[in-house]
């Protein structure tokens, strides 16, 4: 049974314009026993069955990979998003998040698993006909069939709709596919591939293609990391596909591709967050044991700084992910729908596409930071294969590349916001105008508030105004040419990512679950460190964006407005990072796990 929450349902991107109550956000502290149970199942599976076999997977033992996918299926891990009727376990999106987090303990198998549970299950469930579901979905959910997702080509990665694979219509209504897909996860042994091709060279369409129809795999790519996951080209040479195997509608392949990506980006963010938990535990344990100059390196301030920062960044990503999952679940629950069809989930992920892109970018970049510092804390041992730190680092680099590169996702974040504002779905334009008036009026004195995190709440409110100022000004300055101004869009995206992360962290730390926990002070510390540092980043991005859009007196007026908004006094983060680091070292784990 889905276990949705009582969250007030903001629309996607609406957090930029509205305040949210800490009582309304979903946080890890609100997880139910059902969420914990599926999390334990995934964790035990990875610990007991995947990690001990990592070397065999890295030697490309794909029969083992198949067995492990089947085991994951038997445990219900492949079917979290699918109702029982089709062989799934029908849980909510918080559960999907928890499973993705735990599967990340092995990045290589996580990729194999993701290509099956996300990139094959989701399109089949959302766009498949009853026949597709009966014929393929049930077997994908048990792991009897292995799935893959064939979108990218040599000449079209980010520009996925520029695919050159063709599907020629035959007189009997079937299709003949010709072309080549690149870098396909599970490509070496997949039985069923969701393939995107242009019908008669024009209409971008998704197909369900069985290997037996004639797909050939290229050789395994020599990758930087993820050596335990298969990545190959897939070659289609006169591959005949029945008319019944069109997935969705002819000419509507972009709907399949983009909606699947919304799901997959969110889950990739979750996987990155799960990976960061593991690396923090490794670093904390190593720092406690490794002695230099007669003491554990964990006692050095430089190491405490690293650990504290790794924890604060992970905390913000975790907070925004659980908040987003809560919003998605609440929206699905509030939408009248038949449990059997995925239309409510599809609409919910479309609604929160901005948040899914934020989750992907923030998650993959926080993980990169954490894994780089994990190596640094391990010193020379971090650079050699005796320790897992170097493998994690190599494995994680691709997270910034696939599921839409971070550049493409950064462009999407303000791009989607602007589109919704122009359509009137988000009241961004009136809010930006009101802000302009506010900045021209007399300054108001902030009300004094001694409640915990009051300064951070004020800072987040200021960040939102900065984001609004930049987004409004960019729309006004560039109009329909906004898409051409990528550098400015990237700055706006960076501010929005920091707003969502900082607000989610503060809301979580202020929520009843955190306040009533014995770790309340640690929650405060993580949120405070993140907000303090976000203030510097937001200011730097805003100054650069403003200077790109205005000059002379106009620029000076805007910079004065920015200074007025961003009156954030730096706090002593040294003591806060030390508190977080000491807790991680004492527990040998991420403090909020
Ligand atoms: C290990 C691995 C597994 C993968 N698995 C799959 C899979 O299962 N299925 C699948 O279909 N694909 C898969 N991919 C492919 C992946 O999705 C693509 O590599 C990715 O989308 C980027 O495309 P590209 O490599 O062509 O890079 P390009 O699109 O050529 O990008 C190169 C650079 O240019 C930037 N860029 C491109 N366009 C723009 C723009 N408009 N504005 C600004 N910057 C831009 C990019 O951000 C990037 O920095 C996988 C890749 C890897 C490495």
SS (H, E, C) 325-341: HHHHHHHHHHCCCCCCC
Region 441-451: what's the mean pLDDT?
Answer: 75
Q: How close is the Cα of 364 to the center of ligand 1, in Å?
A: 15
154 lines ligand 1 (CB under 6 A): no
Tell me the C-alpha distance between 560 and 114, whole Å.
48
pLDDT band at 7 (very low <50, low <70, confident <90, very high): low
183 lines ligand 1 (CB under 6 A): yes
Tokens 């939102």, residue located: 464
Evaluate: CB of 149 within 6 angstroms of ligand 1: yes
Give the atom of ligand 1 at the shortest distance from the alpha carbon of 223.
1
DSSP letter at 186 equals T
Q: Kindly report the protein residue whose alpha carbon is nearest to atom 37 of ligand 1.
A: 158
Distances in whole angstroms, Cα of residue 587 to Cα of each of 288, 294, 306, 367, 583: 10, 22, 16, 20, 6
Report pLDDT digits (tens) over 565-578: 998 889 999 999 99
Residue 1 pLDDT: 37
CA–CA distance from 273 to each of 365, 370, 409, 437 (Å)?
10, 10, 18, 40
Q: Give the pLDDT band (50/70/90) at residue 514.
A: very high
Q: Which residue has the tokens 């049974």?
A: 1
Catalytic one of 153, 390, 403, 485: 403
Report pLDDT for 160: 92
The predicted-structure confidence for 331-385, as pLDDT tens digits, reads as follows: 999 998 888 888 999 999 999 999 999 999 999 999 999 999 999 999 999 999 9
Report whether residue 196 contacts ligand 1, using a CB cutoff of 6 Å. Answer: no
CB 164: neighbour CB atoms within 10 A?
14
pLDDT in tens, 255-284: 999 999 999 999 999 999 999 999 999 999
> If DSSP codes are grouped into helix, strand and coil, which group holds residue 197?
strand
Atom of ligand 1 nearest to the CA of 408: 47
pLDDT at 9: 87
| pLDDT tens, position by position, 58-116 | 999 999 999 999 999 999 999 999 999 999 999 999 999 999 999 998 999 999 999 99
Token duo for residue 383:
């650079």
316: CA distance to ligand 1 center in Å? 26
Choose between 444 and 585: higher pLDDT.
585
Q: What is the CA radius of gyration of the chain?
A: 24
Question: Does ligand 1 come within 6 angstroms of the Cβ of 115?
Answer: yes
First-residue to last-residue Cα distance in the chain: 25
pLDDT tens figures, 172-193? 999 999 999 999 999 999 999 9
Ligand 1 centroid–CA 200 distance in Å is 25
Rounded average pLDDT over 404-433: 95
> Annotated catalytic, 403?
yes
For tokens 């306040």, name the residue.
515
Measured from the Cα of 405, ligand 1's closest atom is 47
pLDDT at 444 exceeding the cut of 80: no
Supply φ then ψ for residue 324, to 5 degrees: -65, -45
Residue of 60, 334, 45 whose CA lies nearest to 221: 60
Over range 480-504, report the average pLDDT. 97
Ligand 1 in reach of 402 Cβ (< 6 A): yes
- If we measure between CA atoms, which residue out of 279, 286, 278 comes closest to residue 303? 286
Residue 401 C-alpha to ligand 1 middle, in angstroms? 6
> What's residue 278's pLDDT?
97
3, pLDDT greater than 60: no
Residue 78: both structure tokens together: 């492949």
Distance 402 CA to ligand 1 centre (A): 6
Q: Report the length, in residues, of the chain.
A: 593
- Arithmetic mean of pLDDT over the chain: 95
pLDDT at 402 over 50: yes
Does 213 sit in the ligand 1 pocket, CB within 6 Å?
A: no
Choose one of 150, 181, 183, 224 to mutate for the ligand 1 pocket test, by most ligand atoms within 8 angstroms of C-beta: 183
What percentage of the chain has pLDDT greater than the value 90? 93
Rounded to whole angstroms, the Cα distance separating 383 from 55 reads 18
Inform me whether the pLDDT recorded for 25 exceeds 80: yes
DSSP 46-115: IIIIIGGGHHHHHTT-HHHHHHHHHHHHHTTGGGTTS-GGGTS----HHHHHHHHHHHTTSHHHHHHHHH
Indicate whether residue 543 lines ligand 1 (CB < 6 A).
no
Q: Look at residue 2 and tell me whether its pLDDT is greater than 50.
A: no
């Amino acid at each position: 049974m889905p276990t949705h929450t009582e969250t007030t349902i903001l629309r996607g991107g609406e957090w930029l314009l509205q305040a949210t109550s800490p009582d309304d956000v979903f946080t890890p502290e609100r997880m139910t026993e059902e969420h914990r149970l599926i999390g334990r199942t995934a964790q035990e599976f990875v610990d007991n069955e995947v990690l001990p076999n990592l070397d065999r997977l890295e030697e490309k033992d794909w029969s083992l990979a198949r067995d492990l996918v089947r085991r994951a299926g038997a445990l219900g891990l492949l079917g979290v998003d699918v109702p029982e009727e089709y062989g799934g376990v029908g849980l909510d999106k918080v559960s999907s998040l928890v499973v993705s987090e735990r599967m990340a303990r092995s990045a290589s198998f996580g990729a194999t698993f993701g290509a099956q549970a996300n990139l094959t299950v989701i399109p089949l469930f959302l766009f498949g006909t009853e026949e597709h579901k009966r014929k393929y979905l049930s077997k994908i959910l048990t792991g009897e069939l292995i799935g893959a997702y064939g979108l990218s080509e040599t000449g079209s990665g980010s520009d996925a709709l520029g695919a050159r694979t063709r599907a020629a219509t035959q007189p009997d209504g079937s299709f003949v596919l010709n072309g080549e897909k690149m870098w396909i996860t599970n490509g070496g042994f997949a039985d069923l591939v969701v393939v995107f091709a242009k019908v008669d060279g024009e209409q971008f369409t998704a197909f369900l293609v069985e290997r037996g129809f004639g797909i050939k795999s290229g050789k395994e790519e020599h990758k930087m990391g993820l050596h335990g996951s298969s990545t190959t080209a897939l070659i289609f040479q006169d591959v005949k596909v029945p008319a019944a195997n069109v997935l969705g509608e002819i000419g509507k392949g972009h709907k399949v591709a983009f909606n699947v990506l919304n799901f997959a980006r969110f889950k990739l963010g979750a996987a990155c967050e799960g990976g960061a938990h593991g690396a923090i535990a490794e670093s904390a344990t190593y720092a406690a044991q490794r002695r230099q100059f007669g003491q554990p390196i964990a006692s050095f301030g430089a190491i405490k700084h690293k650990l504290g920062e790794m924890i604060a960044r992970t905390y913000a990503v975790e907070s925004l992910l659980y908040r987003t999952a809560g919003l998605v679940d609440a929206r699905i629950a509030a939408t009248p729908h038949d449990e059997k069809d995925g239309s409510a989930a599809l609409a919910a992920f479309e609604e929160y596409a901005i948040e899914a892109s934020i989750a992907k970018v923030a998650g993959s970049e926080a993980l990169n930071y954490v894994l780089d510092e994990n190596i640094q804390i391990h010193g020379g041992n971090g650079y050699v294969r005796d320790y897992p730190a170097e493998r994690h680092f190599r494995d994680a680099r691709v997270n910034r590349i696939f599921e839409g590169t971070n550049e493409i996702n950064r462009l999407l974040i303000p791009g989607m916001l602007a589109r919704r504002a122009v359509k009137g779905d988000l009241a961004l334009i009136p809010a930006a105008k009101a802000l302009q008036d506010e900045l021209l009026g007399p300054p108001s004195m902030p009300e004094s508030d001694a409640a915990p995190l009051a300064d951070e709440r004020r800072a987040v409110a200021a960040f939102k105004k900065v984001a609004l100022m930049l987004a409004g000004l960019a729309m006004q300055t560039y109009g329909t040419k906004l898409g051409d101004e990528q550098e400015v869009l990237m700055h706006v995206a960076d501010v929005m990512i920091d707003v969502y992360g900082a607000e989610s962290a503060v809301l979580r730390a202020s929520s009843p679950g955190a306040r009533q926990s014995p770790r309340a002070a640690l929650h405060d510390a993580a949120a405070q460190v993140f907000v303090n540092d976000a203030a510097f980043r937001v200011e730097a991005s805003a100054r650069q964006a403003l200077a790109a859009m205005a000059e002379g007196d106009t620029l000076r007026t805007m910079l004065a407005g920015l200074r007025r908004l961003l009156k954030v006094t730096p706090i002593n983060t040294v003591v806060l990072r030390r508190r977080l680091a000491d807790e991680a070292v004492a527990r040998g784990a991420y403090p909020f796990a």
